[in-house]
Amino acid sequence: MRSVASRLAAAAILAVGLWTMVVGPVSASTRQCPDPDGCVLVTPINGFIDPVIVDHLESIVASLDDSDGYLGLVLVLDSQGVVVDDEAFADLADTLLESKVPVSVWVGPSGAEAIGGAAELVAVLGANGTATSAPATATGEAGKQRLPGRFGDLFAGDASLLRTTAVSAEGARRAGITSRVDAILGDHVLEIEGVKFETVKDSEGRPKRAPETAGITQTLPLASQLFHTVASPAVAYLLLSIGIGLLLFEFFTAGVGVAGVIGAFSMLLSGYGLGVLPTRGWAIGLCLFAALAFAIDIQTALPRVWTVVGLVAWTAGSLFLLEGMRPPWLALATGVGGMAVTMLSGMPAMVRSRFGTPTIGRSALVGREGVATTAVDPEGIVEIDGARWRALTNRSTPLAEGDPIRVVAIDGLTLEVEPLEGGAIDYREKRGKRGADDAEAARDL
């Protein structure tokens, strides 16, 4: 029986999950600039630009319009694309361009990228303000322009290469998408109008400028960060894998406990993430069909043809789940490999363990056939349908390793077995004769 503590933990997890689902992402609220000489607000944008990021940026711009003292808003961009619809993307671009506080973008730090729609955002802000990038960054692979014609042709002339290729920081500058290569964020901030600086010396004694203006960093609120993380391809896919696995596990065990609650919560989060990302409906259908196929064989405690069908469907659904992208290979290997190990080994072992308890389904083993994995004389080990059991046989019919056996009775968790051929008395005949003898003895009395 599950403990009270486990049930309380399950209830707590469910309550937190439902609360998060109801409240949803939290809008940003920018505090007042504490420096009378002005401030610069910096907000990191990592991962896909999804509804959470759009809401975050629009909330920041609205707060800045009602605040005084801010000299600029800097987007520190490291994004693999935009996953909101074209209308929402265009509204975001309009909001950033119409902000009372100038908005600029720095693709950084080194190793960052601005791919797909994110490259369009860099181009728009660069054409109407300032866009720079750090060394060892990549910008481009924009594909067909998503922003409407009122924003102009963002990748005309030398910039056309960025439609199909991700170029370096220097390449983006030569194409006119960015204006400079800024090694660090401070270099970008120094070019914002009104920012004060001081002259300092670097490690080699050379003079350089350093910002004196206060900088404030505003990140996503915790709840918004959760939803933004869930909407990443790797996390959404892994949550789907975990949710299906735990729900199957819970379905084939007694009661509703922590595994079921966590599985349901994972499915809810995965549903949100996959709803944001561009998904293929038929691929999601394949993943759900795979779960049904797994369930057919799980109840037999023996992986058979339906497990193979399920693994094929799961692998195909995983590979084609997202349109225009796919989860990282590490996430795919974890999801497909983990599901294979679970369904080929873990789940059957769990069901056999449940099946072997003294209270559930033991009588169905009587009459089943197997093989002795050790000598049974009179005790030993036998294997039935891939599961090993302690076994006991009559001293007059000892079994050698490898002999085929038949279960004739169960005593607790120990099986009483006999050889298929040459047993003292076939168990059916034995039971029939025993019943006849008992009846005859009763008549004699």
Checking if the pLDDT of 263 tops 50, the result is yes
Residue 130: CA count within 13 A, CB half-sphere: 23
Tell me: do 377 and 241 sit in the same domain: no
Q: What is the pLDDT of residue 66?
A: 78
Q: Judge if 440 and 300 occupy the same domain.
A: no
Q: Is 10 within the bounds of a domain?
A: no
- 150 and 273 part of one domain: no
Does residue 117 sit within a domain? Answer: yes
129 vs 74: which has the higher pLDDT: 74
Which domain-ending residue is among 351, 374, 408? 351
Same domain, 201 and 332: no
Please check the confidence at residue 4 and state whether its pLDDT lies above 80: no
Task: For residue range 340-392, list pLDDT tens digits in order.
Answer: 988 887 777 776 665 554 444 556 778 889 999 999 988 888 888 777 788 89
Q: Assess whether 200 and 237 both reside in one domain.
A: no
Mean pLDDT of 420-436: 55
Q: How far apart (Å, rounded) are the C-alpha atoms in residues 123 and 146?
A: 12
Are residues 112 and 163 both part of a single domain?
A: yes
pLDDT digits (tens, 9 = 90+) for 87-127: 999 999 999 999 999 999 999 999 999 999 999 999 999 98
Q: Are residues 346 and 320 in the same domain?
A: yes
pLDDT the model gives residue 119: 96
What pLDDT digit, counting tens, does each position of 181-236 carry?
A: 999 998 999 888 888 877 777 677 777 777 777 788 888 888 889 999 999 999 99
At residue 69, the pLDDT reads 84
16 belongs to a structural domain: no
**Together in a domain, 316 and 393:** no
Would you say residue 147 lies in a domain?
yes
**23 in a domain, yes or no?**
no
Which of 191, 220, 249 lies at the terminal end of a domain, its last residue? 220
- Domain ranges, residue 413: 362-444
What pLDDT band is residue 9 in, cutting at 50, 70 and 90? very low
Contacts of 169 (CB under 8 A, 6+ apart): 107, 133, 134, 135, 136, 137, 139, 178, 181
Q: Do 435 and 374 sit in the same domain of this protein?
A: yes
pLDDT tens by residue, 288-311: 999 999 888 777 666 778 889 999
Q: Which of 165, 198, 220 marks a domain boundary?
A: 220
Nearest to 236 by CA among 273, 287, 265: 273
Closest among 115, 342, 339, 332 to 234, alpha carbons compared: 332
* Number of separate domains in the chain: 3
Place of tokens 């933990």: 9
Entry pTM: 0.69
Contact 78, 112 (CB under 8 A): yes
239 and 179 part of one domain: no
* Residue 2 in domain: no
- Same structural domain, 202 and 82: yes
Task: CATH number of the domain at 419, please.
Answer: 2.40.50.140
Instruction: Output the domain CATH number for residue 55.
Output: 3.90.226.10
Residue 176: inside a domain: yes
Are residues 208 and 319 located together in one domain of the fold?
A: no
